[in-house]
Amino acid sequence: MNKENHTHTYKSGFISIIGRPNVGKSTFLNRVIGQKIAIMSDKPQTTRNKVQGVLTQNDAQMIFIDTPGIHKPKHKLGDFMMKVAINTLKEVDLILFMVNVEEGIGRGDEFIIEKLKTVKTPVFLVLNKIDQVHPDELIPLIEKYKERFDFQEIVPISALQGNNVETLLTQIKEILPEGPQYYPADQVTDHPERFIISELIREKALHLTREEVPHSIAVVIDSIKKMEESETIHVMATIVVERDSQKGIVIGKQGKMLKEIGQRARQDIEHLLGSKVFLELWVKVQKDWRNKLSQLRDYGFREDEY
């Protein structure tokens, strides 16, 4: 595009992706941005902070915000995640409310719709996982959603297969205001690398320990430094769990589990940083950390940032 041609206006804006846990928000974000920046897990509630994916085109820049799932809070961490999510909705240009078409409308969706009624931001209903159902099943579901909320657009997609994702991006672009290019064209996320590194480690720990260690895992990056004698980057990180039994599971017999978490995370971190990485992992027990706000702040859940 010729920058001198002023007949083309540049559009940009912030788009929040919300939905019940596990509807495919991170899968969608990763498809759109084309890099692994939001952690993917089949366990709900793995995204805690605002991970932003930046899609830069020649006439627009879309900044996606993947909020914590909106659901009735069960503890202080849940309460905090909820506040973050609602505040995010007020400050964006567009909300994508993503639902899983295999599941129909659940209480969680009703809860989100009630919250959406409190914000003035336009909302698109994005029906994900359409590759899993017969097209005839979509019509009654769409009608049910229409009865409950006045959506600006309703777009069926498959984040996994990519069906209709381009159409959705076109419709997003139409609604975005004219604006500047907020981020350099080659930048895909505004989070400092240490946040993404901690999420990659946490993803592997959750994935490998499966049901044994629920969301009682936080990862703190203690240091990231380049080794002087080589191009290797030395990353030291601590996996924080709530109980001694969980510490045993994360470490594994003869340290096997921790080693496996480390090896898998290191590969992803090397891919992210584009250089060799030496990853050192520790495990620490911090009893009931999720209910202690001071510790939540230590582990990066800062209310004052939102």
User: What token pair was written down for 111?
Assistant: 């809860």
Instruction: Say how far apart CA 282 and CA 300 lie, in whole Å.
Output: 18
The model's pTM:
0.65
Burial, 281: exposed, middle or buried (Cβ in 10 Å; 0-12, 13-18, 19+)? Answer: buried
Q: What is the mean pLDDT of each run of 10 residues along the chain (306 residues)?
A: 54 87 84 70 52 82 76 78 76 91 88 90 95 91 94 95 94 91 71 80 90 78 81 90 92 96 94 88 86 67 46
Name the H helices within 45-192.
76-91, 107-116, 138-148, 165-175
CB atoms within 10 A of CB 263: 11
Residue 239: the pLDDT is 93
Bridge partner list, 64: 15, 53
Cα gap 26→49, rounded to integer Å: 12
Alpha-carbon span 247 to 260, nearest angstrom: 15
Q: How far apart are CA 98 and CA 92, in angstroms?
A: 16
- Whole-number pLDDT of residue 42: 55
Amino acid 4: pLDDT: 43
Closest to 133 in 3D by CA, of 97, 164, 162, 157: 157
Quote the pLDDT of residue 303: 47
Which pLDDT value is given to residue 196?
83
Q: What is the pLDDT of residue 214?
A: 65
> Which tens digit of pLDDT belongs to each residue from 230-242?
888 899 999 999 8
User: How do residues 181-217 score in pLDDT, each as one tens digit?
Assistant: 777 777 666 666 777 888 899 999 999 988 777 677 8
